[in-house]
Amino acid sequence: MSDLVPEPRQKPVVPMKPVSINSNLLGYIGIDTIIEQMRKKTMKTGFDFNIMVVGQSGLGKSTLVNTLFKSQVSRKSSGWSREEKIPKTVEIKAIGHVIEEGGVKMKLTVIDTPGFGDQINNENCWEPIEKYINEQYEKFLKEEVNIARKKRIPDTRVHCCLYFISPTGHSLRPLDLEFMKHLSKVVNIIPVIAKADTMTLEEKIEFKQRVRKELEVNGIEFYPQKEFDEDLEDKTENDKIRQESMPFAVVGSDKEYQVNGKRVLGRKTPWGIIEVENLNHCEFALLRDFVIRTHLQDLKEVTHNIHYETYRAKRLNDNGGLPPMTVETEENHESNL
């Protein structure tokens, strides 16, 4: 019955499993030059970074961002004048800038959320923000799923969300908890205690401890998340930050004053000048170093490898359940995500 069995199809050549052998080097090859090659390539094309600031108005969000990036990235709102109406919902304003330093070009986008927490009834005020974040993921996903893809997909996803905590000195407000609970699952949240110059050193330490405890009790994983620590080194480093420094108690300022013969950024008060970049006065320098100088790339990577992948997996799994999300037809519908 040999003619019943169809002829076996020619199998494509599958190479045998690669054998890993450690070789001894007898001379210089030059593979470490790949670092330079990579660096050159990245410098040429530039980076982008999207940072969102969330908090009630008047907490100093714009000032802080300006201080962080040493330029007028955000225009400070001078409060709502009598003619302007307070927006009924939270608005999302994204402004992009190009800054360059040391040959490195960065496209910085600051996403402001005026109106957050400003209404009398603040229920669900995190929803527009969550929706915005998911829309950016959606945009990226659409580009990625294209047949003919762009060489570099423009990245508008929110890499980092600075959440401003009011320096009450007591504990977190219910609004703070609700917001962070919802959003810590979709974006990297870095809680920041604003206007820290209203607290003394002891008050600051106590407040920070209480905030940390509350965050832990409520199961809010802020960045750097414990579960994403890659190795022991990361873990110890991040543990230190998580358990001691965060949330950073910051003061922002874009005015310069003369202190001890140096020009420093600071706030002038009758009782002294608060130096923004002085670690004894506030933790701005720590925040800056953390976000920009050491963890910028990691923020982007966690957003891409984890938050975006989670969104994508959910989206591709919910087959036919979700209506297409376009920018035009947005209404305040509940997102199933």
Interaction with another protein in 283-302: which residues (CB under 8 A)? 288-289, 292-298, 300-301
143: which residues sit within 8 A by CB, 6+ positions away?
149, 150, 153, 154
State the minimum distance, in angstroms, from the CB of residue 89 to another protein: 24
Report the residue from 2, 25, 78, 81 that binds another protein according to the rule CB under 8 A.
25
Q: Which stretch binds another protein (CB under 8 A): 39-47, 57-65, 125-133, 188-196?
A: 39-47
Q: What's the rounded Cα separation, in Å, for the pair 84 and 94?
A: 20
70 binds another protein (CB under 8 A): yes
Choice between 39 and 213, CB closer to another protein: 39
288: which residues sit within 8 A by CB, 6+ positions away?
68
Interacting residues with another protein between 88 and 147 (CB under 8 A): 96-107, 141-142, 145-147
The b/e string for 274-305 (b: 16+ C-beta within 10 A; e otherwise) is: bbbebeebbbbbbbbebbeeebbebbbebbee
Interacting residues with another protein between 209 and 268 (CB under 8 A): 265
42 binds another protein (CB under 8 A): yes
Q: Which stretch binds another protein (CB under 8 A): 52-60, 64-72, 192-200, 241-249?
A: 64-72
Report the residue from 7, 9, 44, 334 that binds another protein according to the rule CB under 8 A.
44
Report the residue from 45, 260, 269, 280 that binds another protein according to the rule CB under 8 A.
45
CB 264 within 8 A of CB 281: no
Interacting residues with another protein between 295 and 334 (CB under 8 A): 295-298, 300-301, 304-305, 309, 312-313, 315-317, 319-320, 324, 326
Q: Apex CA 70: angle with CA 62 and CA 298, to 5°?
A: 85
User: Which DSSP string do the residues of 218-276 spell out, in sequence order?
Assistant: TT--PSSPGGG--SHHHHHHHHHIIIIIPSEE------EEEETTEEEEEEEETTEEEET
279 binds another protein (CB under 8 A): no
